[in-house]
Structure 1
């Protein structure tokens, strides 16, 4: 029990570190954990599992801080602004943070309550879906390309999809670096360093952030259910991420952009 608590606190600290600093992904710590398995094998497996879970949970909750307050674009130079960034520009960044954390916490509670049911149905659903997984992922990619509004956006989306797939093939089959270590520099360069360089070029003056006395969070049951479904999609479709699942669920549940 002592090792479980110790590793849980270590995982929380690592998750907070990865959540607050932009460009640091929890997967980078998982690579570190794998590399330290010969040393960690002397500790109970439950403690190592607690380390991984605590990293994931704490990172999910703390990751909203940089996602909302960092990399806020200039509203005069971009066409679409994310709801969280728009609220920051309106001086409601603290409200956006409260709404995001509330949604994540409520979804986590619902997930824990429904865990016995999920543990029963997810393996069955995964076994049924697995033979058709490549068709489902291809269909999801085609659907996201088709959903773009203009032909120019469709072509750009298709180009980015193809070039990113080609880049992934090159990285995972490179003779320069092992495929086990290729994702760390690739993701850090594409998202971490690139995001920081783009943020350095932005000159956005943020207004004073004020917390409202009452915050309208929308249709809470619908939002929590949508978040739970999106999380299940990510678990069943390993090639899908949070963005793809969020767009897909929002489209079929009729959630507004702010929700």
Structure 2
């Protein structure tokens, strides 16, 4: 038992680091830990190592909202969430945005526990049918988003253009030559579509004072949005080829982030955490890995599933408290020049893309930024850029790619 809690503590540290550093995913920290696999296994044992890996993933789902909120830098989990969360910061409600996401994540742990057992015991019986319907589901979601947009024609054009870019990126990731290589190619793709392209249109002025409120949401139905996010995250956590970004796109078809930004933040926070827990169930039930963390866990002797789920819940509680605490410190950004911060973040993203993926990553970043500025120019919702994730999955599901 002491080794398991040591693994939990190690996972918390890794998740905090990966969550707070823009562009770094928990998968990166998993790779770092696996490089010392022999020593960690010798000291802690396989069960504690699995606990540390899963705890890092769960912790990351709570902490990664902070750089997305403050600086507008997306990762694969927070791409669409950047938009309402960063707007909260510019209105002096940054701590509220962070805490809303944490509340959604904590509720999703409660909702996910029975879903883990249900999915593990029931869904494998219907998996062949489920796999085929992924593409149909995403086509329906894309259709709802297009028809509910300001201009269905322009929305469809942006969706398909970003989708073609996504297909190209996923089919040809191999020229990426940085330290992350092909596995890091999502970083420049999503940063261009949802990060730099937004920052290029940021206004001037200074960061306003951040109100340190409770973050329980004065106009957002917490339980309803948490449940919706949990269901979306659970579905994509189970289905192959889908990611947190896909879950957030599905949520955007039901919750308008322009009209109910707080509710959308709660829902996406819940989806990201639920995705981690149901991805664990998929590993044990189907031997399918949904991310680098699950790949790393599958390489060692698997402990009981509910043991990992229980320690993941403890990690979620600790990460929730840490996130709430850090949200109260967001006043340190008061008075920063918004334009200068945006320029600094753009430079950081360019450098990080080069370090992670080399010159090819900069090429993808430039293309993604060019596509990402279009929604601002023609005034359609930026969720149209989720075609970069959704179209490749649709084609894969229908066996067209």
Give the TM interval when normalised to the shorter protein.
0.7 to 0.9
- 1:158 equivalent in structure 2: 160
The alpha-carbon deviation at position 15 of structure 1 amounts to: 0.5
Displacement of 1:161 in angstroms is 0.6
Partner residue, 1:4? 4
Is the deviation greater in 244-253 or in 228-237?
244-253
Contact preservation (8 Å) 2:141, 2:253: no
Q: Which aligned runs of 4 or more in structure 1 are off by greater than 4 angstroms? A: 33-43, 131-148, 191-204, 252-256
Matches within 5 A, 1:180-195: 181-184=181-184, 186-191=185-190, 195=195
Say if 2:52 is the partner of 1:46. Answer: no
Q: More displaced, 27-36 or 130-139?
A: 130-139
Counterpart in the other structure of 2:65 = 64
Does the 8 Å contact 2:144/2:253 carry over to 1?
no
The residue number in structure 1 matching 2:292 is none
**In 2, are the aligned partners of 1:85 and 1:93 still within 8 Å (CA)?**
yes
| Deviation, structure 1 residue 215 | 3.8
C-alpha distance after superposition, 1:153-211 (max 9, x if no partner): 3212211111121121111xx3787xx95213x23444569958986996552100012
Instruction: Identify the structure with bigger relative contact order (alpha carbons < 8 Å, sequence gap 6+).
Output: 2
Could you say what the CA RMSD is over the residues aligned between the two structures, in angstroms?
A: 3.5
| Range with bigger deviation, 21-30 or 241-250 | 241-250
Matches within 5 A, 1:195-214: 195=195, 205-212=206-213
Give the C-alpha shift of residue 220 in structure 1: 2.6
- Residues 11 and 54, structure 1, Cα contact 8 Å, conserved in 2: yes
Match of 1:18 in 2: 18
The residue that corresponds to 1:219 in the other structure is 221
Distance 1:148 1:187, change over 3 A: same
Aligned residue runs from structure 1 range 137-148, under 5 A: 148=149
Q: Is the 8 A contact 1:106 1:224 kept in 2?
A: yes
Runs of 5+ unmatched residues, structure 1: 73-80
The structure-2 alpha-carbon separation of the partners of 1:197 and 1:223, relative to structure 1 and needing over 3 Å to count, comes to: closer
Q: By how many angstroms is 1:41 displaced?
A: 5.2
Taking structure 1 as the reference length, the TM-score comes to 0.77
| 1:41-75 deviation line (CA, Å, top 9, x unaligned) | 54533122101211111111111211211228xxx
Number of residue pairs matched? 246
Residue 205 to residue 136, structure 1, CA distance change in 2 (3 Å): same
Instruction: Give the Cα separation in 2 of the matches to 1:92 and 1:253.
Output: 20
SS in 2 for 1:208: coil
Aligned 8 A contact 2:11 2:53 in 1: yes
Deviation at 1:112, TM superposition (A): 2.5
TM value normalised by structure 2: 0.52
